[in-house]
A = this chain, B = another copy of it.
């Protein structure tokens, strides 16, 4: 962590800042310039993050409030983005649910004993945020005081979490998850009940600690057919978004590969619908109706020449055509080998594009 960081001041009450560009755009209000932040902006693309990782694992960072806050703030300082996002992993809350897992370098989260039966559901324990993720909540309190831009809290969405839990590790086809869904519908429903309740508690605690917006990451939901989404997931997604409505913060609903699911996702809930890069933003806006949208530059373009980044970013902005309710982002996370100077230049390009009408 940076030696320059002030000590936490637990008593300071963070002032609300509804006029921040990010929060205005999320509510569909006009802005002086399109707000921009990047999924996975805190992470391996930044040298200062890699330096932290020389002495701490990802899990250790999420269990050290000051270090977690520092990593969360790094991209805000370097890139000039309009929002910070809490540094954590989708699987971070699992330990607090009683599920043992490990994050293996180059593989991702691995769960030794996957959830496959009714008996496995008994392994879960109720999620108590202040006990389970106290350092993360403290990190939110620190960032909330230190950051000039709004802080986004986040959680993995129930389907994506369920895939981790049922597959036990990364998967291409989600065979075990889909088989469970169809062969043991009661177990599937029970698992989603647990995950929705835990996610509500997790995000409520993040907002109580100071998060000014929340985002649900449904990274793997794009593997579902619209039929399975509607019958075997949507009721829980609706319950989740309804439960978050009372928090009074914008809720972003993001998935990957969901061009054919967007209308169902929007119907399930969210003030802002995330778009990946595989659909024109204008088409995404048409499908999701009156919601704000977030996206949607192909992150791979940032590994090529600036001309490709510029062309792609201008296309995204033109697709939006200065309508209020657009938050610029990549269509998925920043890739680790991205040059941070390209990201900073992209932030400037988006800001220089000017105001929405």
Partner of A183, one of B174, B304, B315, B331: B304
Number of copies of this chain in the oligomer? 2
Bound form: Cα–Cα A331–B222 in Å = 13
Contact of A307 among B182, B226, B335 (CB under 8 A): B182
Size of interface on A: residues with Cβ below 8 Å to B:
38
Contact A173 B335 (CB under 8 A): yes
| Chain B residue contacts of A257, Cβ below 8 A | 222, 257, 278
Nearest chain B residue, comparing its CB with the CB of A229 = B278
Name A182's contact: one of B183, B224, B305 (CB within 8 Å). B305
Contact code string A178-203 (vs B, CB < 8 Å = 1, else 0):
11011100000000000000000000
Please report which residues of chain A, range 94-145, place their CB below 8 angstroms from some CB of chain B when the two chains form the complex: none
Of A62-70, A154-162, A206-214, A295-303, which stretch is located at the interface? Answer: A295-303
CB distance from A158 to the nearest CB of B (A): 19
What residues of chain B lie closer than 8 Å to A223, measured between beta carbons?
A: 278
| Interface contacts beyond A224-B278, A227-B311: sample of 11 additional A-B pairs, CB < 8 Å, sorted by A | A173-B300, A178-B298, A178-B301, A178-B308, A183-B308, A222-B257, A227-B280, A257-B257, A257-B278, A258-B278, A259-B259
CA distance A298 to B305 in the complex (A): 37
Closest to A315 in B: B227
Q: A307-B182, A315-B227 are in contact. Are A278 and B298 (CB under 8 A)?
A: no
